[in-house]
Amino acid sequence: MNTAIARKEVQDFIKNFSGDSNRLAFSGSPFQDVTTQELLQQIKGYQKAKTKLPTWANTDGIIYPPTLHIEQTSSEITAQYKASLVQGNTLADLTGGLGVDSYYFSKKIENIYYFELNTNLFHITQYNFKTLNASTINCQNQDGVIKALQQQYDVIYLDPSRRNQTKGKVFFLKDCEPNLPEIIDKLILQAKVILVKTSPMLDISAGIKELPFAHTIHIVSVQNEVKELLWELKNETVTDVKIKTVNFLKNESQKFDFKRNDIASILYGKPKKYLYEPNPAILKSGGFDLLSEQFSIEKLHQNSHLFTSNKIVDFPGKCFTIKQVIPYKKKVVKQFISNSKANIATRNFPETVAQLRKKWNIKDGGSSYLFFTTLQKIEKVVLLCEKL
């Protein structure tokens, strides 16, 4: 780690750089004690931190690791949410990484133990903790799992990483490092609560099978994109796993909670005045059918996951006014939406968005929203809507 990067003139260069990075790579660094490669890494890191880690970006003297570590770390908003879930006097972060979670845990719990095996990342994070006035965090460059199996804590936190980085939609915790299913029976004895962060790609049913101590599952979404699943594990008998969803938007947060075995009482109906689209956290949770009873709204079809009502409700998702219900028939569709401009979504519909845009010559954008969907009696329609 080169601490010369933290010098004011170097920091000013990094934060004010707006040129071509390829040109910088060719021309070389203007600083004798900072290499071109180091400058490029810091510029990339700062650019990513501006939106994901504003506290880091707005603090002078921060040193950034390779961008892969920034991409893998929690955002500040999800780290703050995690911190709201924990309590006690001691917490061990077994997979410390860039330290964003440890930083926010330290605002809630007095004694934080940060563990990180990657020596370079460890030293950068330890340095940044001091820069962020979080120097009370106990940093250890060693295997946190080994330590946790020897020491009791109030809370243990870990974020297993996939050993196989090949992109795919399905994976298991047993394929991650550390292999949590392999050690969970022993690890659960070392803390009152274990908090586990996993990718949103993890199937909830598969995760429950691998984590038999699951007490509560949090599905965390930011700006309508599911970012992570959080698993609260406790060494106690659980009859029904709690599911908590949260979707953080610019000026609000949408929450919807239920128990996994709750029985849904679904009302079905045809499109009315308003249309409701559940946010992605609820769709991931599988609890969308429970919305019908809780909000007194009707579902369009068992597999459409769109809801409707004549009275507006405070709904955890997107809300629209239905301007027109158009039967999906060639002559009718051609008359109303062909050669138009609109935002398109499909729900329980046989054609893709790309196919529909090409077929009906619909350009992207504008204030109109077209939902291509299927109603209860297998009736295909287009709902012409405007967002509330």
User: What would the pLDDT profile of 233-246 be if each residue is shown by its tens digit?
Assistant: 999 888 899 999 99
With beta carbons less than 8 A apart as the criterion, state whether 81 and 281 touch. no
Domain boundaries, the chain: 3-64, 71-255, 274-387
**What is the pLDDT at residue 227?**
96
Higher per-residue pLDDT: 369 or 340: 369
**What is the pLDDT at residue 165?**
55
Q: What is the mean pLDDT of residues 53-75?
A: 94
Give the number of other Cβ atoms within 10 Å of residue 226's Cβ.
21
Q: Does the structure show a pLDDT above 80 at 164?
A: no
Q: Which residues contact 190 (CB under 8 A, 6 or more apart)?
A: 148, 149, 151, 152, 153, 156
Share of the chain above pLDDT 70, in %: 98
Q: What is the DSSP string of 39-101?
A: HHHHHHHHHHHHHH-HHHHTSTT-----HHHHHHSPPHHHHHHHHTT--SSEEEETT-TTSHH
Mean pLDDT (the chain) is 93
**What is the pLDDT at residue 377?**
87
Cis peptide before 178 (omega within 30 of 0): yes
Q: Which residues contact 191 (CB under 8 A, 6 or more apart)?
A: 92, 148, 152, 153, 154, 155, 156
Q: Label residue 160 by pLDDT band (50, 70, 90).
A: very high
**What is the pLDDT at residue 21?**
82
Tell the CATH topology of 71-255: Rossmann fold (3.40.50)
Q: Does the structure show a pLDDT above 90 at 149?
A: yes
Cα angle, residue 300 at apex, residues 296 and 301 outer, rounded to 5°: 120
Torsion of CA 117, 118, 120, 125, to 10 degrees: -60
Q: What is the mean pLDDT of residues 29-51?
A: 91
Give the number of other Cβ atoms within 10 Å of residue 156's Cβ.
26
Distance from C-alpha of 374 to C-alpha of 369, rounded to nearest angstrom: 16
Q: Which residues of 170-188 are buried (b: 16+ CB within 10 A; e: fewer)?
A: ebebeebebbbbeebeebb
**Is 0.85 topped by the overall pTM?**
yes
**What is the pLDDT at residue 163?**
66
Q: Does the structure show a pLDDT above 80 at 29?
A: yes
Q: Label residue 22 by pLDDT band (50, 70, 90).
A: confident
Per residue in 95-147, pLDDT tens? 999 999 999 999 999 999 999 999 999 999 999 999 999 988 999 999 999 99
Q: Does the structure show a pLDDT above 90 at 318?
A: yes
**What is the pLDDT at residue 26?**
82
Query: For 268, which DSSP code?
Result: B
83 phi and psi angles, rounded to 5 deg: -60, -30
**What is the pLDDT at residue 107?**
96
**What is the pLDDT at residue 1?**
87
